[in-house]
Amino acid sequence: GRVEVPRSVTAVLGQDVVLPCRYRAQEQEQVVQVTWLKRGPGAVVAEVAVLNPQHGEHVQEPFAGRVLRHGHGDLEDGAILLRN
């Protein structure tokens, strides 16, 4: 399969923005978890959120209340919504 994301996403300060992410699965593949990471200065990587249908959604504390799953149903749509 392959991951499809836009090359860039434009956000307006103070408004919500959707970060799309879609996985085009091959036959008999199933997405079991989506993990969102944030790259910071100096290539530092921080986990933002984990989406898992069995264990639910987990958003790391610095992002709690600001990151929500945007997609519904199967995790082939792993989009998230960043609030404000």
CATH of domain 2-82: 2.60.40.10
At residue 39, the 3 state secondary structure works out as strand
pLDDT for res 73: 81
Beta bridge partners of 3: 23
Note if the pTM is more than 0.85: yes
Q: What is the rounded CA–CA span in Å between residue 55 and residue 39?
A: 25
pLDDT tens-place string over residues 19-64: 999 999 898 898 999 999 999 999 899 999 999 988 989 999 999 9
How far apart are the C-alpha atoms of 57 and 29, rounded to whole Å? Answer: 21
